[in-house]
């Protein structure tokens, strides 16, 4: 069964807010690490206590900044596609909501959705591997990612090596943990991008020879990797 991704209903402001919260949380953790290191430094000379080595805070800060930049990139790419969200709510429903007074009493009992019958059977692994239909916003977003990637690869080497393609993708702002490959295959260089955030399902599968780049968007369940989808 196909499903429509939640990203089609998620306002762009929510993605920006999430980035801010992630950055604030990371700052709090780094402050706690700094306090702990200060306490270790205050141990008396000659004490047998030894401090456990901690990772360099600069490494964490670099990773946090890189992921935040990646999130902001996705926000920038999808933002022009936001007007398509207006079609998600029929006009007649919007007018009905506006006519309802804010102090109108709620009904005594609200109908509850029917619950699915309980089952002890685990989910079929093959079901999670099925391709998911992309939402209108994700299709728009995919076109914009495809355009910027194709232009960048066309401006590069005429016969790029996998490391050349990887360098182009990284320069465009796609982070390493969301890139599968690149690797040589079928006379070119193949790569896969995982762009799933905020409940989204967007993946991109690309092949480039330097002079020609083909990128296909598709949807993937969050339970599997983009490369595991049966298409």
- Kindly state the percentage of the chain with pLDDT values over 70: 55
In DSSP notation, the chain reads -----GGGGS-HHHHHHHHHHHHHHHHHHHHHHHHHHHHHHTSPTT-S--PPP---HHHHHHHHHHHHHHHHHHHHHHGGGGGGGGGGS-HHHHHHHHHS-TTPPPPSSPPPPPPPPP--PPPPHHHHTB-BPPPHHHHHHHHHHHHHHHHHHHTS-SS--HHHHHHHHHHTT--GGGEEEEEEETTEEEEEEE---TT--EEEEEEE-SS-EEEEEEE--TTS-GGG-B-
What are 10-57's pLDDT values in tens digits?
A: 445 555 554 454 444 444 444 445 444 444 444 444 444 444 444 444
Please give the distance of CA 46 from its chain centroid, rounded to a whole number.
50
Contact between 30 and 57 under an 8 Å Cβ cutoff? The reply is yes
pLDDT of residue 37: 47
Q: 97 pLDDT exceeds 70?
A: no
For 175, list phi and psi in degrees, rounded to 5.
Answer: -85, 155
Nearest to 208 by CA among 142, 137, 155, 136: 155
Residue 66 lies in a domain: yes
Structural domain count of the chain: 1
Q: 185 pLDDT exceeds 70?
A: yes
What are 215-224's pLDDT values in tens digits?
A: 999 999 999 9
What are 75-94's pLDDT values in tens digits?
A: 999 999 976 454 444 444 44
Residue 75 lies in a domain: yes
Residue 203 lies in a domain: yes
What are 134-173's pLDDT values in tens digits?
A: 999 999 999 999 999 999 999 988 889 999 999 999 999 9
Q: Residue 14 belongs to what domain range?
A: 1-41+57-83+127-231
Residue 99 lies in a domain: no
Highest mean pLDDT, choosing among 72-76, 79-83, 107-111: 72-76
What are 24-34's pLDDT values in tens digits?
A: 444 444 444 54
Residue 13 and residue 1: Cα distance in Å, rounded?
30
142 vs 101, more confident: 142
Residue 183 lies in a domain: yes
Residue 114 lies in a domain: no
Please give the distance of CA 87 from its chain centroid, rounded to a whole number.
23
Residue 92 lies in a domain: no
Confidence (pTM): 0.60
Nearest to 194 by CA among 184, 208, 205, 186: 205
pLDDT of residue 163: 96
Tokens of 11: 């306002």
Residue 158 lies in a domain: yes
């Amino acid at each position: 069964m196909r499903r429509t991704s939640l990203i089609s209903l998620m306002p762009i402001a929510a993605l920006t807010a999430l980035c801010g919260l992630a950055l604030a949380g990371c700052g709090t953790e780094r402050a706690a690490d700094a306090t702990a290191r200060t306490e270790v430094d205050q141990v008396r000379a000659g004490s047998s206590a030894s401090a456990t080595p901690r990772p360099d805070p600069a490494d964490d800060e670099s990773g946090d900044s890189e992921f935040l930049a990646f999130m902001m990139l996705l926000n920038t790419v999808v933002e022009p596609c936001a007007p398509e969200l207006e079609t998600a709510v029929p006009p007649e429903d919007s007018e009905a909501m506006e006519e309802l007074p804010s102090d109108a009493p709620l009904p005594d009992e609200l109908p509850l959705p029917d619950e699915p019958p309980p089952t002890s059977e685990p989910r079929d692994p093959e079901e999670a591997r099925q391709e998911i239909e992309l939402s209108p916003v994700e299709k728009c977003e995919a076109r914009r990612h495809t355009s910027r990637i194709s232009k960048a690869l066309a401006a590069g080497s005429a016969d790029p090596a996998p490391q050349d393609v990887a360098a182009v993708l990284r320069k465009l702002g796609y982070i390493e943990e969301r890139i599968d490959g690149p690797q040589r295959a079928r006379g070119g260089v193949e790569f896969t991008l995982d762009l799933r955030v905020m409940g989204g399902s967007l993946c991109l599968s690309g092949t480039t020879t330097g002079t020609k780049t083909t990128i296909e968007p598709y949807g993937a369940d969050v339970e599997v990797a983009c490369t595991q989808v049966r298409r």
